Amino acid sequence: MKLTVDLEICIVAGECYYNHPTLLKRNEETGCPDILVAELTSDDDIREAREAAEVCPSQAIAVID
Ligand code: SF4
């Protein structure tokens, strides 16, 4: 499974990288998230990615097959 972020609709709320720092990191220039783990292989990573997608206020984060 893959973690994706649509930076066109990210509103830089920061929920994703503050709550899931193992998967996402704040880009110092844009404030948008950089993806640290794009390929989700463990159950923990998949669960965290789904949580990040749920809390993103702009629905910019997706977990896809
Ligand atoms: S939670 Fe969503 S809107 Fe906020 S920084 Fe992350 S991707 Fe952007």
CATH tag, 2-64: 3.30.70.20
Give the per-residue pLDDT at 10. 97
Give the per-residue pLDDT at 26. 98
Question: Is 12's C-beta closer than 6 angstroms to any atom of ligand 1?
Answer: yes
pTM for the full predicted model: 0.94
Of the pLDDT bands very low, low, confident and very high (cuts 50, 70, 90), residue 56 is: very high
Question: Is 56's C-beta closer than 6 angstroms to any atom of ligand 1?
Answer: yes
Q: Are the CB atoms for 2 and 40 separated by under 8 Å?
A: yes
Q: Are the CB atoms for 33 and 17 separated by under 8 Å?
A: yes
Residue spans per domain, the chain: 2-64
> What digits encode the pLDDT tens for the residues 10-29?
999 999 999 999 999 999 99
What distance in angstroms lies between residue 42's CA and the mean position of ligand 1's atoms? 22
